[in-house]
């Protein structure tokens, strides 16, 4: 809970305070949105990446072991960035399994 301090502002001071507060809130909101957008581009775990690529978890593990895709590791968890996966496998809108002639159905 914020403490409210009552003071007398002149019209210009009050306007400047309001503008500064709105800018600060706007910057905070844009930082939160960019963080959310960045997290949308990450895959956490092999199963999430396999779902995106339309392949099995074993295929993701094999690609990772052969260093055909880039990955990040924290403890036992693996993280992947969508942009790096797309550039490594040259996947655009199509799914990985469909590129190999398999339908994902």
Do 35 and 50 belong together in one domain? no
Boundaries of domain holding 57: 41-99
CB within 8 A of 43, min separation 6: which ones? 49, 52, 79, 80, 81, 82, 85
Which residue's entry shows tokens 């959310």? Answer: 36
Higher-confidence position of 3 and 91: 3
Residue 56 lies in a domain: yes
Six token digits for residue 37: 């957008």
Do 69 and 93 belong together in one domain? yes
Do 18 and 51 belong together in one domain? no
Strand partners, 77: 74
Do 56 and 82 belong together in one domain? yes
Which residue's entry shows tokens 């963080």? Answer: 35
Residue-wise pLDDT for 22-53, tens only, equals 888 887 777 766 665 555 688 889 999 999 88
Task: Name the pLDDT band for 16 (thresholds 50, 70, 90).
Answer: confident
- Do residues 51 and 94 lie in contact, with contact meaning Cβ atoms separated by under 8 Å? no
Q: What is the pTM of this model?
A: 0.50
Check residue 35 and give its pLDDT.
60
Residue 1 lies in a domain: no
Residue 60 lies in a domain: yes
The total domain count for the chain is 2
């Amino acid at each position: 809970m914020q403490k409210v301090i009552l003071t007398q502002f002149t019209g210009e001071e009050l306007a400047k305070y309001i503008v500064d507060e709105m800018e600060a809130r706007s910057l905070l909101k844009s930082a939160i949105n960019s963080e959310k957008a960045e997290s949308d581009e990450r895959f956490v775990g092999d199963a999430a990446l396999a779902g995106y690529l339309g392949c099995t978890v074993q295929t993701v593990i094999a690609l990772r072991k052969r260093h055909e895709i880039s990955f990040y590791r924290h403890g036992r968890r693996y993280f992947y960035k969508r942009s790096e996966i797309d550039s490594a496998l040259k996947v655009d809108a199509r799914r990985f399994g469909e590129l190999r002639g398999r339908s994902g159905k």
